[in-house]
């Protein structure tokens, strides 16, 4: 079945460092890909998405490119802030039943 694999956390960075969180997927067909962010004790917020190959999703300085050839959707940000500390989830939608399938989440901690 469809699945998503993320790099394990926690990831600890200093403020203004470059961030990469790797995400790869396995799917039949052509899924849509998403990054969600979860702050402590809260639900999930959509960070960005891409619906087809070579699309680049971007928001709040974060970006990710849908790479069909490598089945990847890595999240990047050029300069992280303390306020970016959260758990990040990569996900895909199977475009059949419409359900989202999540990776295991990557905790990011940004130190001043």
Partner 1 sequence: GAVVSQHPSRVICKSGTSVKIECRSLDFQATTMFWYRQFPKQSLMLMATSNEGSKATYEQGVEKDKFLINHASLTLSTLTVTSAHPEDSSFYICSARQPPGQGDGYTFGSGTRLTVV
- Nearest partner of 60 among 38, 33, 81, 90, judged by Cα: 81
The enclosing H or E element of 37 equals: strand 32-38
Q: Is 73 in the site for partner 1 (CB under 8 A)?
A: no
Cis peptide leading into residue 51 (ω within 30°): no
Query: What is the closest distance, in whole angstroms, from the C-beta atom of residue 93 to partner 1 in the complex?
Result: 8
Of the candidate spans 20-28, 41-49, 60-68, 78-86, the one that interacts with partner 1 by CB under 8 A turns out to be: 41-49
Applying CB under 8 A, does 29 fall inside the site for partner 1? no
Q: Are strands 106-111 and 100-102 parallel, antiparallel or unpaired?
A: unpaired
Using the rule CB under 8 A, which residue among 89, 92, 108, 110 binds partner 1?
A: 89
Footprint of partner 1 (CB under 8 A): 34, 36, 41-46, 49, 89, 93, 97-105, 107
């Amino acid at each position: 079945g469809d699945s998503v694999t993320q790099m394990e956390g926690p990831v600890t960075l200093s403020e203004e460092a470059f961030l990469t969180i790797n995400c790869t997927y396995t799917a039949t067909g052509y899924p849509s890909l998403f990054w969600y962010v979860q702050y402590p004790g809260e639900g999930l917020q959509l960070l960005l998405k891409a619906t087809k190959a070579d699309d680049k999703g971007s928001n709040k300085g974060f970006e990710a490119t849908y790479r069909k050839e490598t089945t990847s959707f890595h999240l990047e940000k050029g300069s992280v802030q303390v306020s970016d500390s959260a758990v990040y989830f990569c996900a895909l939608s199977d475009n059949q039943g419409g359900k989202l399938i999540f990776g295991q989440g990557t905790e990011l901690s940004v130190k001043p």
